[in-house]
Amino acid sequence: MHLTFYKYHGTGNDFIMVDNRNGLFPKNDVTRISSLCTRHTGIGADGIILLEDDNDSDFRMVYFNADGHEGTMCGNGGRCAVVFANKLGLIQQNTLFSAADGLHEASLLGEEVRLKMLDVETIRRKPDYLFLDTGSPHHVQMVHDLETFDVEKEGKRLRYSLYGKSGSNINFVEDNKENKFSVRTYERGVENETLSCGTGVTAVAISMHYLGLTDNKVVNVLTPGGQLVVGFEKDGSRYVNIFLKGPAKEVYKGSVKW
């Protein structure tokens, strides 16, 4: 038995995409899912995304981390899912789809996707970092010399020491001035640094505005995999009408022995 899959990436955050409208994918097989994501011996990816039928929207996106467990919202994965749904003929330019954190609107803009994120109600401020949920939990911390910073070591330490077993994604940020920030992210579930994290970039942009490091409500964030744009509005203490915009590309189609 063979599984047909597609490989997509959003600024280097890569995913195995599967059309699961027939419901045959074994979603409870943690070991098998993890093995597909394992680099060198599997297909290799930061996660697996299933596209499924949904009664309340155009489609449902189901996201699994590379460790084989179902995850929370993935911003880069959400943009890839929109492009994949378009390829399958399920949507045209605009869509409403369901994910782990609820319904999301999105639009195809040439080679980019503009994805609406959920509102951010609460930001927890600590002396050295901020914590907020942008569909997934995020720790945001300013650092110097980001390029040489040991993201894996320090990210792993904070992920477990501060947040326990459930963990949090850990974002390290450097201010490049002129409304541009650089970020490197340690992702839980992948348990390593990824080239980009969409919900992390969203958390960074909002955090930079919250800290007063930018007055702009459209913020450019540079990841190792490329640049993303985050926009938002402020409503009292809440951040609303948040969008994440950036590329999402198909890499190849393949078949793997199942």
Catalytic amino acids? 74, 197
Cα 123 from Cα 133, distance rounded (Å) = 8
Whole-number CA gyration radius for the chain: 17
Given the DSSP bridges, would you call strands 238-247 and 249-257 parallel, antiparallel or unpaired?
Answer: unpaired
As a whole number of angstroms, the distance between CA 204 and CA 242 comes to: 12
Strand partners, 32: none
Q: Dihedral sign, CA of 209, 215, 221, 222?
A: negative
**At 28, phi and psi to the nearest 5?**
-95, 0
Q: What is the DSSP letter of 26?
A: -
Residues 6+ apart with CB under 8 A from 36: 16, 42, 43, 45, 48, 256
Residue type, position 85, single letter = A
- All residues at 6 or more sequence positions from 215 whose CB lies less than 8 Å from its CB, including other chains: 209
Separation between Cα atoms, residue 154 and residue 41, nearest integer Å: 27
